[in-house]
Chain A
Amino acid sequence: MTGTPVIDVNAYLGEWPFRAVRRLRPLRERTPTALRRLLEGAGITRALVSPLAAIFRQECESANAELARAVRRLRALRGYGEFFVPAPALNPAYPGWEDDVQAALTAGAPGVRLWPNYHAYSLADTAARVAVAQAAAAGLAILISLRMQDERHHHPRMMVPAVPADEVAALARAVPQARIIACMARYGEAESLLAASGDVIPQAADRPSPSQRVILSKAKDLGAAQGKLREGSGVGEGNVWLDLSGVQGPVGCVDLLAERFGAGRLLLGTGAPLQYPLPAVAKVLASEIASDDRDRVLGLNAASLLTPAGAANTDSPGAN
């Protein structure tokens, strides 16, 4: 890992009201400094951070401004450099989101984060697609959090279903110029998302995903059905990447995903400070993928993908 950037694409700043994170107590420790210490303890050298406050406010502007101030303040400190990279929130269902896209560009953010479930809209909505297309055209990557916390543990009066993986895949097909990073998907969701949105590697293409198996089993003309699947799924466009922070199994999960979809699609993500960062790094380091693939998952994929807006490269970096 020496010299390899280790980039966390799924970290947050701010308070999560449903859990007291013991490691970040007392109050004075619940700061960016504490988060940085936590991440560095797992070997992470850079983190894309989004403001948790934006989840609970329908407008994202104030939370994004707080995030930008925090990142600016930290960058002014000696030794901080560019450890934190802002990924401001975007809520296409709230008036003025165009200003939030502009503010993200001004802040030098490489991407914006969407919480469709917490902000109560569908990725199939026209407003969402227009906003994503506009942000993508401006060179911003689109991070979509499928969930924040295991649905089984939500507050009984605040249960928020996960964003359906097929909505993310459909969005990717509908806005092919968007570089979409799906965050906190579970293994099954990750499989179906990546299968539906591109670049199943050739030797694994003969092993369709469960959902594809259903389609193929019903098809009279197998060849045509396979062609249609590939056509419909945008195979070859490959505009979805997967943050691994929600994938905790099965055994060898990183190997299994890399074998099927290529290491170029996978990105390190921790979910910190809500989740421990070390398991995220450990599952990549304990995988049996080639060492150069490991470096790509740990940070090189993210480094290529998350170029500052304006310098975006829409090629799929490292895609197999």
Chain B
Amino acid sequence: MHPEGDALDPRLLRQAQRLGVDRLVVSSLGRWGYEPTHEECEQANRDVRRLTQQHPRLVLGLAYVNPCHPQAVAEFERCVVEWGFVGLKLWVACRATDDRVRPLLAKAGELRAPVLHHAWHKITGNLPHESYPEEVARAACDFPDVQFIMAHIGGDWVRGLRAVRHQPNVSVDTAGSIVECGMIEQAVAELGARRVIFGSDAHGADLAVNLAKVTGARIPVRARRLILGGNFARLARLRR
């Protein structure tokens, strides 16, 4: 999920408490520019650090960087090593297969930090540097020791699942505005429950809506538990 600035919407906090969501994995996309400056990324990460300090039992941070800037690797490392962030978030500044992403992926492997990577296949046209699910799969193939989480099941989830199904180090997150019937069941059937991870995309999307996609899906209880927490805890090596 992505907060605005260094504050969580009180509605979100109350909703999380009521719904029993006890961890929020947060990355800030700053001012939501598609090609943020390095300084904007640094500010976004400082905002998330403040949230982890304000809500130490609730919030886990992901470092957000723009791979086009040479300082990105150092910023990522600082967030993980000094601030205790649990992974990396990459959005739409650069394609997953771009050479400038490779040092970050190498660092993710070294730090054993999962990479949450945005991907979408939009028939209406992607942003200039927005990754397609196939590109996430290709990057994951090149870095088999890095655990990728492809956001939104790739948007068009039928296509997204096909693109990553044979790449065992790619999981998918369920976050976003798409609530199409069968998407969770299909993800579990194609990838196995261990590669599906609950996400909300709050504040932009509603937490209750996204949670209900998983709780209402016709999947085994054990699969639901993995999706709702077990899988991310395993990838991020969280102490439960």
Interface residues of A (CB under 8 A from B): 19-24, 38, 41-42, 149-156, 159, 186, 248-253, 255, 271-279, 281-283, 285-286, 288
Contact = CB atoms under 8 A, between A and B. Distances in A.
Contact of B156 (A20, A153, A249): A153
Interface stretch (B92-100, B106-114, B178-186): B178-186
A286 B208 contact: yes
Contacts of A278: 212-213, 215-216
Contacts of A253: 206
Contacts of A285: 208
Nearest to A150: B178
B206 A248 contact: yes
Interface of B: 9, 11-12, 14-15, 18-19, 120, 122-124, 155-156, 158, 176-182, 185-186, 189, 201-213, 215-218
Contacts of B212: 276, 278-279, 281-283
Contact of A249 (B120, B206, B213, B217): B206
Contacts, number: 125
5 contacts: A22-B182, A274-B181, A276-B216, A279-B208, A279-B210
Given A249-B201, A278-B212, A159 B185 contact: no
Contacts of A271: 179
B58 to A, nearest CB: 15
B123 A159 contact: yes
B208 A249 contact: no
A274 B180 contact: yes
Contacts of B120: 152
A165 to B, nearest CB: 17
A42 B11 CA distance: 24
Contacts of B209: 248-249, 279, 282-283
A282 B216 CA distance: 10
Nearest to B190: A22
A156 B121 CA distance: 12
A250 B182 contact: no
Contacts of A23: 181-182, 185, 218
B185 A283 contact: no
A42 B217 CA distance: 11
Given A41-B216, A278-B215, A249 B177 contact: yes
Contacts of B158: 19
A251 B15 contact: yes
Nearest to B11: A252
B123 A19 contact: no
B201 to A, nearest CB: 7
Nearest to B12: A251
A186 B202 CA distance: 16
A152 B180 contact: no
A5 to B, nearest CB: 20
A154 B216 contact: no
B108 to A, nearest CB: 28
Given A41-B216, A249-B201, A251-B9, A273 B123 contact: no
Nearest to B177: A248
